[in-house]
Each structure stands twice: as structure tokens, then as C-alpha cells.
Structure 1
């Protein structure tokens, strides 16, 4: 049985209410899970149990990257994302096609806010199609549902 971590206590969502109040809505779409901090944490724990945590970590890094305002910060962040997730033999290498990986590599010296869009869409699609349905059946999600219903 999965134990609830301390991360699930407190107010984690964008809303001023219990973060697990929305747990039932997570079954509607992967966007509902990714749109809530508690959902992200639960999904990340599930992906970690499946040895594919790099997917959500990359997706979240891309979301943060798109909010960057300064060029020096963009260059630094792009290089970090590239070396951590994209380049061949990266420590948390994501599963993307060779062409996408090559395209990012060619343009990494002059990154734009859209540098990782194609790779992010591929990873999102993989999570939505493959990981998300298993998450809904997982002990992690089912445990959160039961916990929410027992209140």
C-alpha cells in the first residue's frame, strides 16, 4: 500500500482549498492532473515507481522555461534542460525521436522560448496515452480517491 507523503499536506493547488478535493477530477484528463500541484506530485510519484519520472520532470522544466524573460537565463536554462534530458546519454534522457533530439542540439546555442516545444509535445503525448491510464488504475491514485471519499 502506498503511503501518503508529507508533500500532500497543506494547500498545494492554485486554489485556497484542500489540494486533494480535486482528486476525482484528475480522472477527466491528464491536463487536470498536470494543472494542479498535488496532481503533479502524485503523478510524479507514480512515474517514479515506473522508472519514467524523467517525463514529468522534463515537462515541468519546459513549462518553467517558457516563463523566462531574460536571454542569459534562457540560455542557461536551455543548456541545463538539454544536458539533463535531451542529449544522448543524458542522466534523465527522455524518449524522443532522433530528428527532434538532433534539431534541439543544432539550435541549443541560440535557444528560443519554443526550443523544446516539439519534444515537450512528444513527452506529453507519451504521458497522456501511455502513463496516465495506468496512473488512474494505480494504488497511488486509487488510494488518494479512497482517502478523499472517507472524509
Structure 2
């Protein structure tokens, strides 16, 4: 289920009176959490890595990027992270082709903004993918997010609202 932080936070502002009540809102949303999912939101400002290693941080950042029409960046980055965990060659080929078709090829539905050399190298090698096939593109997108999107996210009403609503434990 897609989680929309804007409407969720509006709901929280209207109906949630404490961080403890956020457990009810987020119950079952982030299975890897052993505590309130937004308790660590204040640590997201320490680095983009802190943000991206937290499922709730990823979701909040994705929602922010969606509002800026650049959601493809985090979707690509996450797809690459998942891709690097693949163990079987057939699964790697299938996943590499999906990532290429969805994000890399010219006119892809969620085409990422990478230089033509990187795009050409991926295109040339897509028929024989390996676990490092998307590393250069992933690093470029990571740098783009870290340099441009992440600072705007930290200043955004969305992140500030998360902090006010329950990000501090």
C-alpha cells in the first residue's frame, strides 16, 4: 500500500496527540521496526545515508521526491540496492532488463537523469549483466539526491512536519 506522508501527517495533526499514538497509525507499515517508525526522524538530518537506511525515511523522502516530480531517483536507487542482492543469474538478467527498461533506456517511463556515456555503457552491456551493471548510474543518482534533493527535503514542510508530529522520541 502506498503511504502518502502529506495526507498521513495532516491526519496525524488532526487526530494524533502523541508519538505513542503514531504506533496506531504506522502499525504494520514497516515490518522491520521494533519501535515507533518516526522516532529516528531527527537523525535523518545527519546524513542522506541515515535517511536511506531507514524504511520510514525512504518512504518520507520518496513522497517528497514525488512532490518534486523526481521520484524516479529513489526508485532507481532502491531497485539497484535490491538488484545487488540477487544470487541467481536468471533472476539477475530479468531484474537488469526491468531496471534498464524502466529507468535507463532513452524514453523509459521513469527515465533517470544520467550522462550519455553512462547510459551508453549500460546499454552496451545489458545483454550480459553483472551485479555491478548499474553502479556508476546509481552513484550518479545518489550524488544528485545528496547534493540537490536531500537538502531541499530537510528544509521542506513535509520533513519539518514529521519532526513536529512525532519525529523526536
TM-score category of the 2 structures, normalised to the smaller one? over 0.9
SS in 1 for 2:79: helix
Runs of 4+ in 1 over 6 A off after TM superposition: none
State TM-score, norm by structure 2.
Answer: 0.84
Question: Which residue of 2 is the match for residue 18 of structure 1?
Answer: 36
1:2 matched to 2:19: no
Q: Distance in 1 between matches of 2:70 and 2:161?
A: 21
Mapping of 1:107-126 within 5 angstroms? 107-126=125-144
SS of the residue corresponding to residue 92 of structure 2 reads: helix
Q: 1:108 to 1:4 in 2, by over 3 A?
A: same
Contact 2:39/2:167, CA 8 A, preserved across alignment: no
Q: Please show how residues 138-149 of structure 1 align to structure 2 within 5 Å.
A: 138-148=156-166
Q: Does 1:71 align with 2:102?
A: no
Aligned length: 150
5 Å-filtered alignment, 1:59-98, equals 59-98=77-116
Higher relative contact order (CA 8 A, sep 6+): 2
Contact 2:38 2:168 in 1 (8 A): no
Per-residue CA distance 1:75-131 (angstroms, 9 max, x = gap)? 000000000000000000000000000000000000000000000000000000000
**Where in structure 2 are the equivalents of 1:32-71 lying within 5 Å?**
32-71=50-89
Structure 1: how far apart are the matches of 2:167 and 2:64? 20
Counterpart-to-counterpart distance in 1, 2:146 and 2:167: 25
Cα distance in 1 between the residues matched to 2:133 and 2:79: 12
In structure 2, the gaps of 5 or more residues are 12-24
Q: 1:95 to 1:59 in 2, by over 3 A?
A: same
Instruction: Tell me the distance in 1 between the aligned counterparts of 2:129 and 2:167.
Output: 46
Q: Secondary structure at the match of 1:18?
A: coil
State the Cα deviation string for residues 41-74 of structure 1 (Å, max 9, x = none): 0000000000000000000000000000000000
The structure having more radius of gyration, on CA atoms, is: 2
